[in-house]
Structure 1
Amino acid sequence: MTVVEGRTSQDQQKAYQDGAYRHGYTVRVSIPRIDLWIAAFLGLRRQDSAVGGVADPSSLGMSPVFAFLCSCALIVAALAANASRLGEGWAVPTFYCAIAAIFLPAAARIIHPGASRLERLALIVIVTSALFVVRLIRAPVAFIDHDEFLHWATVNDILEAGRLFLPNPLLPVSPLYPGLELITSALVNLSGLSVFAAGLIVLAAARMMLMLTLFLLFEKITGSARIASIACLIYMGSSTFLLFDVHYSYESLAIPMLAAVLLASESRRLERGDTAGWPTFVATMVLIVALAATHHLTSYFCTSLLCGTAVMECLRQGASAMQRRQAILLASIAVIAPVAWSKIVGNPTGSYILPVLAGGIHEVAQLVSSSTSTRKLFVSDTGALAPAWQRYLTMAGVALICLGLLTGFLRSLVFNGQHRNASILWPPTRWRLWRSSLLQILILVTLAYPLSIIFRLTRSGWEIGNRIGSLSFLGVAIVVAVAVAAFWHGASRGWLRATALAAAATTVLIAGVISSEGPRILVPAGYEVSADSSSIEPMGISAARWTREWLGGEQHFATDRINRLLLSTYGRQKVSTTLESGQDTGIAITAADLGPMERKLLIDSGVGFVMVDLRMTTGLPGVGVYFDGGAQDRNHTVPLQSSSLLKFNSEPDIDRTFDNGFMVIFDVGRLGKTRQPAAPPRRTGEPVQSLGRQDGDLR
């Protein structure tokens, strides 16, 4: 019996079978199988090798043209930022469009396989520089974001006192991890620049260091400049990339240092001989120790990566005994350095991190058990709903990342294997045949990305999810880049597919910015109540400077969330916070009456002055809290009452020291002091005894 094989349409198959059966043939028709298509979609069985270009590696290509386009987009961004200060409604959408115009053309060129390595690197530098200028356009003359004030206060302490580890009530853990502040204060002393100018220089250098290091790292562990450049683009889609990670905060320096540690560790592995790699190995150890003294969370994440890499290196077939020993030694140093530093500075991170983590996990457990979120998506704490285009773009960005992970996760594992065009599932002997242990760990890190999305659905866990998301993007970037280069684009030489993928990457970038900043990306025309950067304005700054000029520094103040930032930096005053004392003085300020409990709270906290801002009576807080975020603070459903804030006027032992119409400073230094008994009638010729200046008396 003869066997006939073929692939035809359904009608042709039936007609052909009828004729074949009449002639005594057995027909075997090959029909496409859905399981093979799914395997190809997920990257289970094979890996496309179209991951590089054929252009002249020394050519800059079209990068000068893209630099000109970025400069034009920055002009539009500057006009939009100025329009926002004038109250124009089109400012925020235009600002986002300018960011997209910076990113999209360069992304299309980078995704296309025709770009050279040098051109890709030049485009990464151009886009990185332009996006940093976006940060300057948003805040060109001073720090305006909440976390920046916390570290600015620490720099001021170092510059004025000439020593480290002075207490910072705004963020007690900040002086204990002074890497960023040390570099800034050194630059200020050497150059005479202001803290703001020196901080911008440090941030710009750190941002450029991050992207160049990531490019070299991704290129080293994948062997492809195309995948490395696409991964850098995807990493820019992290919600913290555009603004949060260029705030003057210790994480902005720590993440570039983390990338440098990973690159140095991989460079060590590529050195030939047992001794040639030791200088790089020592440099890696120095970087690990420096990172441990710069930021706690990033240091812990670095420890996890290096420990995971050591485990993978021990499991990897073909790894030499020297490579395994060095990986274990490096992981051991990564464990010892942050633990030892934490012990030296007094174990500050437990009480700082654990309550936040516990609260976030508790709300996630409630979300899983009851399927109801404690946080309304796209709704601010004041009840304002985000515009529809922001909501849809944010959801589209998350969906695109998930699609990239779906098509890139297994494909990246295959790509990292020693047998590129083979299944990773069979035979089992191939499970341990990977080329880069670090790449294997970064691929597994992407599993934390869905966890970050879950945390973002809760109020307490939002910040946790934001931090997890930014760190997990080190893996997300490379997995999605493999999916783009090897599956979604491949070896296509056309521009249509590259442009469509660049538009998808731009959507991810804009979605990340919206999820982090939303409508408050620009400074508004008017003051907003307790809205961080939208609440920093000249009147509050002027009042803070007045306190330093007329009251002197280091006076103990109790005030709201925004004014304590200004008092601590511009006024150089000591402010009361729950992080330092564990007592929420906001309860005494917002209470209807100044009763015994409120008096005791102010006295026990050592407060000498109370500053109240009557603008808090005009609206609910933009970030959800007026003061420290205690239980009572979050229970406000209506704005504060002016009678509560001004109750100090009726107290005989409290003086009204300052009043500019909206902001009032009360001298409460005599609360709890025993009154002097009345002096007996003075006899003729008896000199008058001077009582001297009382505490807090300005006379």
Structure 2
Amino acid sequence: MTATLARQDPDVIVGDDAATAESAAVGRQGPRVPSAILGSPMLVASAAVGSLVIGLSYRFSSQGRPAELYYLVFWAGLLTALLPVVARLTASNTRPTTRFLALALFGVVTLMPKILRNPTGPLYHDEYAHWREAVDVTSSGRLFQPNATIPIVEFFPGTSALTTTTESFGGLSPWSAGLLVVIALHVLGLFGVYVLGDALLSSPRAGAVAAAVYGINPSAIYFDTQYAYESLAVNFFLWALALTTLAKRADSARTRRAYSTAAVLAGAACVVTHHLTTIFLIVALLVVTATGVVRARLGRRRQPPDVAAPDTMRPWWVTLVCTTVIAVAWVMTCARPTLDYLSPYLGSAVGQLKSMSQNSGQGGRQLLAANVEPEWERLLTAAAPVVVLCCFIAAAALIRRTPITLDSPTWGMIVFGCGYFVSLPFILAPSGAEGARRSWGFTYVGVALVVALVAVHWPSDRPHWAGRSLAAPLQMTLLVTLVIGNVGGGLNDPYRFPGPFRWGTDTNSASAETRSVAEELGKIVGRSRVVTDAYTALELAAYGGLVVAAPSVGFPAWDLTQRDADPSPELARMLTYSDYDYLVVDIRMAQEAPFNGHNFGQNDPLLGHATPMANLTRLDHVPWAWRVMSTEHLRVYRLDLGAIARERG
């Protein structure tokens, strides 16, 4: 077999006419789906039925039914909605128009679990911050509004700008406008992966497979479909790569300049929307350009032209240099706190991994701890990286044993995809787990290209023991493993499923009672500064517009409730001089241990334990606090720590 994975391009060895024809035949191989069975009406019907079943699983979970039940119902619904669409999307006999429609429907289906989770308002931690930012931008008419929940959001106004613009055009609420922006960009982002796969692997079906695999990455179905800046920026990231690829393959200088300009604009949109996505975009561009340089030098030592000349990588260099310059200029002029915000995470994660290795793994995280996830989903979660590894091994065998030639950008994206494996150990480090999960939404682009390469160009008669009758079931099994395993490895149960009130979760600790207190307190005291726990803080900041303290080792505001003594003079001075005039206490923090393990962040002195009720009841008898508002579970105190602050420390 001879296969060439590029159209007429100086970066690759283009085979003769016979080889190219055979390559096209190889690209067309794959499952053929009868249109009568999986036509558009059937796809829409299966998506609708699956969505209803997903909603039923949420109903079961909110009623406190057994986890095994609502997990089974959820997966029955999602797979019913997803698998027929993927089959039509990736079939070899699917027409271009039908494939585009199937891809759009696939985007909607992968959005459905998150939309049904909280369709009417914010619920995730980051959603509260961005919703409040959009509200403040709309009401003030100015960008760069201070944000109490995630302060760095102030310096990346792309999300709030798009939300406010959409709201002004459609007359929608900030939440509805934000949700519409997320939906539109999510679907467009999948088309970006399709374009990237089609251009790099020279096959529309390869583009479809790549889009389908990317659309089930661990971040896609819940994390990157929430209303937050990464959910928008990741799609700019995808289109910056896709447009740069199109620029490199353009036939004329004018077309090349147009694509390059669009790629730079996508990179600029990424810069002003999200810091971490910008970093991953620059890294991806660096990896691709570095791969081009290495292959060019190797090519000069061998027989040209098996490797591209340096100037053929010019569009990638243009996007890299322009995006880097824009990012540096933005950070230096508009977002100086970015480096201070990001620097602690990587250092802490590396330090924790080193400590774990020196202490035989002690001090790390227990994967899926305190989780009701069924055993079968846990097993598939562990199996998903193994499936990805097998695809990389298969791709290596395919490239080695068949005359397939990949160009520099394709090799670069595959190398970038290897970052997925680099991130896996960081899941075991408490400070590195969030960063590792966030990286998957980016590195999975390379993973998707590898899977597409294997799926589309693997010889149909290999292995010999797996004939055509076994190929489709095997592919379906691997797909189901990736879907279930990736979602299972993404977010925990309270983020994925509604449920009875559960103290100590960002989602299921939310209540109408807390929202009412937040709104009332905001009306009375305005943008006052408040000390409270990490969960009540979300609603106080979002619905009341209050400025909530961020306790730390250097600012132990948690001492007001986590100790049974008066605050130290030093803490009293910090609270007084910073105008923290109120303390809001939810007594449920004393009724059960927090699900997330803390009430005031990972440095909480009572980590893993409920707050003693005595610490809370004593607040009604101390001279430095008096109750000004109360409900069934919440108590609001006015603070007067002046006397303690004047004491000698």
Report TM bin, short chain. 0.7 to 0.9
TM-score scaled by length of structure 1: 0.81
Q: Does 1:121 align with 2:104?
A: no
Answer whether contact 1:594 1:648 (CA < 8 A) is retained: no
Matches within 5 A, 1:534-613: 534-549=508-523, 551-578=524-551, 583-597=555-569, 598-613=571-586
Give me the whole-angstrom Cα distance separating, in 2, the residues matched to 1:207 and 1:282. Answer: 22
1:664 shift after superposition: 0.3
Q: Give SS of 2:602's match.
A: coil
Matches within 5 A, 1:474-493: 474-487=445-458
Answer whether contact 1:112 1:498 (CA < 8 A) is retained: no
Match of 1:619 in 2: 592
What are the ranges of 5 or more consecutive residues in structure 2 without an aligned counterpart? Answer: 1-21, 297-304
Q: Give SS of 1:561's match.
A: coil
1:441 shift after superposition: 0.9
Matches within 5 A, 1:437-452: 437-452=408-423
Give me the whole-angstrom Cα distance separating, in 2, the residues matched to 1:161 and 1:67. Answer: 42
Answer whether contact 1:48 1:487 (CA < 8 A) is retained: no
Deviates more, 1:58-67 or 1:165-174: 58-67
Match of 2:639 in 1: 668
Out of 642, 654, 665, which is 2:613 matched to? 642
Out of 361, 365, 370, which is 1:372 matched to? 361
Match of 2:154 in 1: 175
Out of 366, 391, 412, which is 2:378 matched to? 391
Q: Give SS of 1:82's match.
A: helix
Match of 2:50 in 1: 73
Out of 330, 347, 351, which is 2:336 matched to? 347
1:57 shift after superposition: 13
Answer whether contact 1:59 1:118 (CA < 8 A) is retained: no
Q: How many residues matched?
A: 608
Answer whether contact 1:620 1:637 (CA < 8 A) is retained: yes
Give me the whole-angstrom Cα distance separating, in 2, the residues matched to 1:262 and 1:397. Answer: 26
Taking a change above 3 Å as real, the CA distance of residues 280 and 309 of structure 1, as seen in their structure-2 partners, is same
1:435 shift after superposition: 4.9
Answer whether contact 1:373 1:458 (CA < 8 A) is retained: no
Give me the whole-angstrom Cα distance separating, in 1, the residues matched to 2:25 and 2:388. Answer: 22
Matches within 5 A, 1:180-579: 180-314=159-293, 315-316=295-296, 317=305, 319=308, 322-372=311-361, 374-380=363-369, 383-384=370-371, 386-409=373-396, 411=398, 421-422=402-403, 435-487=406-458, 494=468, 496-549=470-523, 551-578=524-551
Answer whether contact 1:53 1:114 (CA < 8 A) is retained: no
1:99 shift after superposition: 1.3
Out of 27, 52, 74, which is 1:51 matched to? 27
Give me the whole-angstrom Cα distance separating, in 2, the residues matched to 1:515 and 1:556. Answer: 37
1:119 shift after superposition: 3.4
Give me the whole-angstrom Cα distance separating, in 2, the residues matched to 1:651 and 1:119. Answer: 70
AA of the residue aligned to 1:392: L
Matches within 5 A, 1:647-662: 647-662=618-633
Answer whether contact 2:530 2:580 (CA < 8 A) is retained: yes
Answer whether contact 2:292 2:310 (CA < 8 A) is retained: no
Q: Give SS of 2:151's match.
A: coil
Q: Give SS of 2:600's match.
A: coil
1:496 shift after superposition: 4.5
Q: Give SS of 2:564's match.
A: coil
Q: Give SS of 1:282's match.
A: helix
1:301 shift after superposition: 1.6
AA of the residue aligned to 1:518: N
Taking a change above 3 Å as real, the CA distance of residues 367 and 49 of structure 1, as seen in their structure-2 partners, is farther
Taking a change above 3 Å as real, the CA distance of residues 88 and 260 of structure 1, as seen in their structure-2 partners, is same
AA of the residue aligned to 2:358: S
AA of the residue aligned to 2:53: V
Q: Give SS of 2:580's match.
A: coil
Superposition RMSD in Å: 2.9
AA of the residue aligned to 1:440: W
Give me the whole-angstrom Cα distance separating, in 1, the residues matched to 2:244 and 2:91. Answer: 30
1:480 shift after superposition: 1.7
Query: How high is the sequence identity, in percent, across the aligned residues?
Result: 21
AA of the residue aligned to 1:100: L
What are the Cα deviations for residues 509-535 of structure 1, in whole angstroms up to 9, with x where unaligned?
111111122332444442111211111
Give me the whole-angstrom Cα distance separating, in 2, the residues matched to 1:361 and 1:674. Answer: 39
1:461 shift after superposition: 1.1
1:660 shift after superposition: 0.6
Taking a change above 3 Å as real, the CA distance of residues 545 and 301 of structure 1, as seen in their structure-2 partners, is same
Taking a change above 3 Å as real, the CA distance of residues 298 and 223 of structure 1, as seen in their structure-2 partners, is same
Answer whether contact 2:586 2:635 (CA < 8 A) is retained: yes
AA of the residue aligned to 2:217: S
Q: Give SS of 1:534's match.
A: coil
Taking a change above 3 Å as real, the CA distance of residues 93 and 375 of structure 1, as seen in their structure-2 partners, is farther
Larger Rg: 1
Give me the whole-angstrom Cα distance separating, in 1, the residues matched to 2:32 and 2:539. Answer: 54
Give me the whole-angstrom Cα distance separating, in 1, the residues matched to 2:497 and 2:417. Answer: 34
Taking a change above 3 Å as real, the CA distance of residues 347 and 87 of structure 1, as seen in their structure-2 partners, is same
Taking a change above 3 Å as real, the CA distance of residues 495 and 153 of structure 1, as seen in their structure-2 partners, is farther
Give me the whole-angstrom Cα distance separating, in 2, the residues matched to 1:59 and 1:358. Answer: 54
